[in-house]
Structure 1
Amino acid sequence: MMCTGRCSRCIGIALFPLSICAIVSNLLLYFPNGQVLDADRITDLVWFFHGILGAGILILLPAFMMLGAGGEGCCANRCGMLLSVLFAALGASGGVYCMIISSLGLINGPLCDIGDEVYTYPFRNNTFMDNYLFNQTTWSICKKPENIILWNVVLFSLLLAIGTLEAVLCFIQVVNGLIGFLCGTCLRKRKTDVAEM
């Protein structure tokens, strides 16, 4: 059975690459199809910093804390495990925030030029059944930036997946940290102590 400290360390290590991917994905949303556009021609939901702040910075903080709580001989570190619970709850809220904004980004679609330099959200008021995600023939309405719909769908989907995974991992750490706080030591350490008596 894995002790709570080792589990905490594994979760912390897993969160690092996820948070970096979220930050990079969010940054790429500022450059549709690799182009530099004026700020008023970038999809508004990108400015909520859901990948940079939510799934990025708010995940890096708990990841560092989990590594500290999961250090060697740290299974009995009740204070560290309690702190990891608080930070994991913060990380879970960041992951959920990323999930919500990413979902809205997917549902509403991108800001794009529908012709004659008219930038609008052509899919924002669509019903669920008429959503552009299920009807790719409607994608041709967006003239510029080139491939903007595919760009947004891929990056918002990636951020949705990352935010979901981060929220799940942080929730697991909340449970793991509470067990570590209440029980203090892992099962293997207790068996060793009993055997020495």
Structure 2
Amino acid sequence: MTCCEGWTSCNGFSLLFLLLLGVVLNAVPLIVNRVEEGEFFQNPISCFEWWFPGIIGAGLMVIPATTVSLMARKRASCNHRSGMLLSSVLNVITIIGAVYCVLVSAQALLKGPLICNSAGNSTSSCEFSLDNISNIYPEPSDLQWYFNESCVPPKDFLYPTLNDTVANAGRRQSLHFRSKEDAYKTIHFSVFLGLLLVGCLEILFGLSQIVIGFLGCLCGVSTRRSRIV
């Protein structure tokens, strides 16, 4: 096995792991939303998980290159010059999908979960357009929504004239809301930070396979050994 074949096999297994990880990460907020609300699109954690950056960008768009890379190992059906060239070409699709995943994840990290940005906290406040992916807003680039104690204005001071009973009830509601806020913030930050790293790694592996694939096409691969009967 030549170094080109060995590196191609390594890239294939690495991309396989990353695409599975991307799908799992993207599914986490969707599953949480389904378990808590009993139906999809009801009080979602974020608008951006519905762009499916891990399922489409880091997942489905990576499958063709991953399949060919794994098949380009020694004694596999794509172990020839054309197979190595095909692995390079298909990794262009991998890079496009990974860039999509990175852009959506970066935007999600900058904007924060819906609970920090929308009083309605539903997909009715989501704006699904391609402009939202390409426009990376410079603020708040310091992730204040995550590091602040709370990203939601306190509700205890809205009605200072209420009696103690109503105030205590409102305080309990605020505490319950606070725990939900913490959970949504943690899930949102963990999921999209993970997807951002997955996308970046897929870009690196995709670029390396493009180079290795062209080298394998130019230099050739190892020939199959004839079976001795």
Report TM bin, short chain. 0.7 to 0.9
Q: Displacement of 1:160 after TM fit?
A: 0.6
Q: Which residue of 2 aligns with 1:39?
A: 41
Q: Which residue of 1 aligns with 2:149?
A: 137
C-alpha RMSD of the superposition: 3.2
Q: Which residue among 97, 101, 113 is the counterpart of 2:104?
A: 101
Q: Which residue of 1 aligns with 2:22?
A: 22
Q: Displacement of 1:24 after TM fit?
A: 0.8
Q: Displacement of 1:10 after TM fit?
A: 1.1
Instruction: Indicate conservation of the 8 Å contact 2:116/2:152, yes or no.
Output: no
Q: Displacement of 1:98 after TM fit?
A: 0.6
Q: Displacement of 1:182 after TM fit?
A: 1.4
Q: Displacement of 1:100 after TM fit?
A: 0.7
Q: Displacement of 1:95 after TM fit?
A: 1.1
Q: Which residue of 1 aligns with 2:187?
A: 151
Q: Which residue of 2 aligns with 1:192?
A: none
Q: Which residue of 1 aligns with 2:13?
A: 13
1:182 aligns with 2:218: yes
Instruction: Indicate conservation of the 8 Å contact 1:132/1:138, yes or no.
Output: no
Instruction: Indicate conservation of the 8 Å contact 1:3/1:185, yes or no.
Output: no
CA distance in 2, matches of 1:30, 1:73: 38
Q: Displacement of 1:152 after TM fit?
A: 0.1
- SS of the counterpart of 1:27? helix
TM-score, normalised by the number of residues in structure 2:
0.69
Instruction: Indicate conservation of the 8 Å contact 1:50/1:101, yes or no.
Output: yes
CA distance in 2, matches of 1:73, 1:151: 41
Q: Kindly provide the CA deviation profile for residues 40-63 of structure 1, in whole angstroms up to 9, marking residues without a partner as x.
A: 522211111110011011112211
1:60 aligns with 2:63: yes
Structure 2: gaps (5+ residues): 126-136, 155-176, 224-229
Q: Which residue of 2 aligns with 1:48?
A: 51
Percent sequence identity is: 27
Instruction: Indicate conservation of the 8 Å contact 2:116/2:145, yes or no.
Output: no
Change (3 A) 1:152 1:41: same
Instruction: Indicate conservation of the 8 Å contact 1:59/1:94, yes or no.
Output: yes
**Aligned residue type for 1:161:** L
Q: Displacement of 1:185 after TM fit?
A: 3.6
Q: Kindly provide the CA deviation profile for residues 14-73 of structure 1, in whole angstroms up to 9, marking residues without a partner as x.
A: 111211111011011214475235505222111111100110111122111101122338
Count of aligned pairs? 184
CA distance in 2, matches of 1:85, 1:155: 29
Instruction: Indicate conservation of the 8 Å contact 1:26/1:49, yes or no.
Output: yes
CA distance in 1, matches of 2:141, 2:97: 30
Instruction: Indicate conservation of the 8 Å contact 1:76/1:180, yes or no.
Output: no
Larger radius of gyration: 2
Q: Displacement of 1:137 after TM fit?
A: 2.0
Structure 1: gaps (5+ residues): 190-197
TM-score, normalised by the number of residues in structure 1:
0.79
